[in-house]
């Protein structure tokens, strides 16, 4: 076996496909640039790392199950001037994750709550954090199904290990008392350990109606808001803006 064949075989064993594809061209470039052995090795390994990190990030984004991909940089703050842009930018550094703080975005439909939630989620996924996006309806249905099939403890353990859980559209549909109790278990499991982002069209004083139980709603709010950045998003509808723009 030649040296080239041996190198390719070793790279295959070590799962270094990028090194296989670039080591010869990088060696030729290193000779021309009179690079040291260490500099050559650094450049080859750097290319492998870049691709591996990119693949890891793409996997995190796919696993997060975002409904669409929109960044915080794409959010039009001029259209929603009342929102605290400075605080949004600060939160985009993701310090709130290490502090296990939550974000709650409350406002009418169409003002960009989900866009902001996804934007934070993308930031976290690109930082290689474990992120998962649910609509409130899908999450509650999954909790109910898990309880029926006796998988609830396992599901709660899985969800509690996420760095960021995004729950979208809470309040669009009312929740049964049984489902409210399951939601409370999830919130309690994550309380002061990991971060949650919630979007809702209902103000906090109406969450008792959402969960069909004032006591449970108060307990949920107590845990969510204890370490939280709440935002009241009151502005024009982006959907109406898009419709008007087409006319």
> pLDDT tens, 151-167?
999 999 999 999 999 99
What parts of the chain have a pLDDT lower than 50? 243-244, 246-247
Q: What is the pLDDT of residue 241?
A: 56
Compute the distance between CA of residue 247 and CA of residue 238 in angstroms, rounded to an integer.
15
Q: What is the pLDDT of residue 247?
A: 43
Domains of the chain (ranges; CATH) run 3-59 (no CATH), 65-246 (3.40.50.300)
Q: What is the pLDDT of residue 96?
A: 98
For residue 77, give the H/E element and its range: none
Quote the DSSP letter at residue 15: T
Return the percent helix, strand and coil in the chain, to nearest 5.
Answer: 60, 10, 30
Compute the distance between CA of residue 11 and CA of residue 29 in angstroms, rounded to an integer.
20
Buried b (16+ CB within 10 A) or exposed e, 51-90: beeeeeeeebbeebebeeebebeebebeebeebeeeebee
Compute the distance between CA of residue 211 and CA of residue 190 in angstroms, rounded to an integer.
19
Q: What is the pLDDT of residue 79?
A: 80
């Amino acid at each position: 076996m030649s040296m080239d064949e041996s190198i390719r075989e070793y790279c295959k064993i070590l799962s270094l496909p990028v090194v296989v594809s670039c080591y010869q061209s990088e060696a030729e470039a290193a000779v021309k640039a009179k690079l040291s052995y260490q500099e050559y090795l650094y450049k080859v390994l750097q290319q492998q790392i870049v691709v591996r990190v990119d693949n890891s990030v793409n996997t995190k984004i796919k696993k997060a199950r975002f409904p669409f991909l929109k960044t915080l940089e794409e959010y039009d703050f001029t259209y929603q001037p009342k929102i605290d842009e400075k605080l949004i930018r600060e939160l985009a550094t993701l310090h709130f994750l290490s502090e296990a703080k939550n974000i709650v975005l409350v406002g009418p439909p169409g003002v960009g709550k989900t866009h902001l939630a996804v934007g934070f989620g993308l930031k976290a996924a690109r930082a290689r954090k474990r992120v998962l996006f649910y609509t409130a309806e899908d999450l509650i249905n999954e909790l109910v199904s898990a309880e029926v099939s006796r998988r609830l403890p396992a599901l709660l353990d899985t969800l509690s290990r996420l760095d960021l859980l995004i729950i979208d559209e809470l309040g669009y549909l009312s929740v049964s008392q049984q489902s409210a109790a399951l939601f409370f278990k999830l919130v309690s499991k994550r309380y002061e350990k990991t971060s949650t982002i919630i979007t809702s069209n209902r103000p906090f004083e109406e969450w008792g109606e959402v969960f069909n139980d004032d006591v449970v709603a108060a307990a949920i709010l107590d845990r969510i808001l204890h370490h939280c950045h709440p935002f009241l998003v009151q502005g024009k509808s982006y959907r109406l803006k898009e419709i008007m723009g087409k006319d």
